[in-house]
Amino acid sequence: MILSRRSSVATIAFSLLLSLPLTACRVRTRDPGATKRLTQAPDFTLTDESELPVKLADLTGSGHAVLVFYRGHFCPWCRSQLSKLNAMFARFKAAGARLAGISADSLAHCAQLRKKLSLRFPLLSDPKLEVIKSYGVAQKDQDVAVPSIFIVSRNGQIVYRYVGESISDRPDPEKVLAAVPPPPKKPPPKLPEPKDEKTEPADEPADEP
């Protein structure tokens, strides 16, 4: 009987231990409804790892911006996600989309991470979480971003969003690429208007003598 009780207690304790990592991985934003209310992307200017200012308009100037909010350089899921997106860089570019990572990391950490992963897109530093908060993806209990992706059109409209429910929750990069709207079709080139050709009156045959 005693062994049975001990066995039951051990089973319950083991189950609780197994559930702890899952519970710890769950994240909540400080303002859960913020991302749903957003239709127009908040404008911003952040500094990239090369200490150059980057505006939202710089990213949407040639099409769409894919904003990748990640927790930080220390997060293995973030590094994996950034690497997968980097492997698809050429395909995003061909679709008219520019990638950019955003986190609360310092400029030094952004530079180290970009070099380590050989990223072809910029990492923007938001140490005060000003942009992260404006997009409604600041984590409730930590000064980091909830893993999220926003696709912003050239006119500043949010056309796609994905906010992770846990620190490991990321969208499939293929689905993110598929969510990029196709570029507008170019109008067909105008054909030159035909010129009016003036016809010369035919010479009348001369009278025979």
Residue 167 CA to residue 182 CA, distance in Å, equals: 30
pLDDT in tens, 8-43: 544 444 444 344 344 445 666 666 555 667 799 999
To the query of whether residue 78 is one of the catalytic residues in this protein, the response is yes
Give the three-state DSSP class for 47.
strand
Catalytic residue among 25, 75, 78, 110: 78
Cβ atoms of 151 and 160 within 8 Å: the answer is yes
What phi and psi values does residue 164 have, to the nearest 5 degrees?
-65, 150
- The enclosing H or E element of 172 equals none
Instruction: Provide the residue type at 115 as one letter.
Output: K
pLDDT at 174: 98
The mean pLDDT values, 10 residues at a time, for the chain of 209 residues are 49 43 54 70 97 97 96 98 98 97 98 98 98 95 95 96 94 97 75 64 56
Q: Is 76 exposed, middle or buried (0-12, 13-18, 19+ CB in 10 A)?
A: exposed
According to CATH, the superfamily of the domain at 27-36+48-178 is Glutaredoxin (3.40.30.10)
Position 209 scores a pLDDT of 52
Two structure tokens written together for 207? 């009278």
CA distance 129 to 145: 8
Q: Please tell me the pTM assigned to this model.
A: 0.76
By CB atoms closer than 10 A (0-12, 13-18, 19+), residue 156 is middle
Per-residue pLDDT at 161: 96
